[in-house]
């Protein structure tokens, strides 16, 4: 089945929902509202013309610094050369996030029709950001959702066992958020006087090695 047939059958089966279709680079992405996630996923899995029977991946994205470049500045003398060397970390807003701060991308695969589909949705109007768990639809979501919870701090409502998975026991924070410094917040060392392992705030500052530069109209073919 090619992508146009896929989009047509999607439009046919999912006409009840508000969906935006993106067909770029030979792949189809549907952008949906997070409230429609569960019914749409159920349809995608059960409908015989679609049968997306495998969940390949779940990826959470933090849009906090999307489109920010290190060299971007309002006037040249204001921040000088150091603007690309010193990195300011935006503090974590406690009350409310931007409604579209976090994007979640689900990659689906249909073995029967040999098709791929990507679902994207946004969350973030509350702290912590929440979204429904799709563990009941695809069991493979178990660890993927735990990972997104651990690294991005997204709560998956209805997940049976939402615990941290990749970070250390007792870890504080969600390291893949853009307001979490690459160097981390705590460092671990052995204190000879106390004769035990201690945690203390990191003593090094985050320095980007190569400045982040955005170039439009790139003419690579």
Choose the binding region for another protein from 33-41, 57-65, 125-133, 186-194 (rule: CB under 8 A).
57-65
Interface with another protein (CB under 8 A), residue from 66, 126, 186, 205: 66
Interface with another protein (CB under 8 A), residue from 20, 24, 81, 197: 24
What number of other Cβ atoms are within 10 A of residue 69's Cβ?
13
CB of 193 to another protein, least distance (A): 28
Q: How far apart are CA 177 and CA 182, in angstroms?
A: 10
Q: How far apart are CA 191 and CA 22, in angstroms?
A: 55
* CA-to-CA separations, 156 to 132, 135, 159, 163, in angstroms, rounded: 5, 9, 6, 11
The answer to whether residues 184 and 202 touch, using CB atoms and an 8 Å cutoff, is yes
Nearer to another protein, 12 or 98 (CB): 98
CB of 191 to another protein, least distance (A): 23
Cis ω for the linkage preceding 128 (within 30 of 0)? yes
92 binds another protein (CB under 8 A): no
Q: Return all residues near 64 (Cβ < 8 A) that are at least 6 apart.
A: 90, 101, 177, 178, 179
What does residue 46 show for φ and ψ, rounded to 5 degrees? -90, -30
**Residues between 69 and 88 with contacts to another protein, criterion CB under 8 A:** 69
Choose the binding region for another protein from 77-85, 88-96, 192-200, 202-210 (rule: CB under 8 A).
202-210
Interface with another protein (CB under 8 A), residue from 36, 167, 173, 179: 167
Nearer to another protein, 12 or 100 (CB): 100
Written as six digits, the tokens of 11 are 């439009």
57 binds another protein (CB under 8 A): yes
Q: How far apart are CA 18 and CA 21, in angstroms?
A: 10
Interface with another protein (CB under 8 A), residue from 1, 7, 19, 59: 59
Applying CB under 8 A, the residues found at the interface with another protein are 24-27, 29, 53-57, 59, 61-62, 66-67, 69, 105, 107, 111, 114, 116, 118, 138-140, 142-144, 164-168, 175-176, 182, 208-216, 218-221
């Amino acid at each position: 089945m090619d992508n146009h047939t896929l989009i047509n059958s999607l439009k046919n089966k999912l006409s009840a929902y508000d969906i935006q279709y993106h067909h770029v680079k030979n792949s189809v992405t549907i952008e949906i509202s997070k409230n429609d996630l569960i019914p749409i996923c159920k349809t995608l899995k059960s409908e015989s013309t679609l049968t997306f029977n495998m969940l390949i991946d779940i990826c959470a994205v933090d849009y906090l610094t999307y489109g920010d470049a290190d060299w971007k500045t309002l006037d040249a003398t204001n921040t000088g050369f150091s603007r690309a060397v010193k990195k300011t970390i935006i503090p974590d807003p406690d009350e409310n996030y931007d409604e579209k701060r976090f994007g979640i991308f689900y990659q689906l695969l249909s073995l029967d029709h040999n098709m791929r589909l990507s679902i994207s949705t946004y969350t973030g109007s509350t702290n912590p950001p929440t979204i429904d768990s799709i563990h009941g639809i695809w069991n493979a979501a178990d660890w993927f959702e735990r990972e997104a919870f651990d690294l991005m701090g997204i709560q998956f409502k209805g997940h049976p066992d939402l615990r941290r998975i990749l970070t250390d026991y007792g870890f504080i924070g969600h390291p893949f958020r853009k307001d979490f410094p690459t160097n981390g917040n705590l460092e671990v060392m052995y204190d000879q006087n106390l004769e035990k392992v201690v945690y203390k705030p990191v003593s090094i500052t985050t320095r980007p090695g190569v400045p982040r530069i955005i170039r439009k109209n790139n003419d690579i073919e």
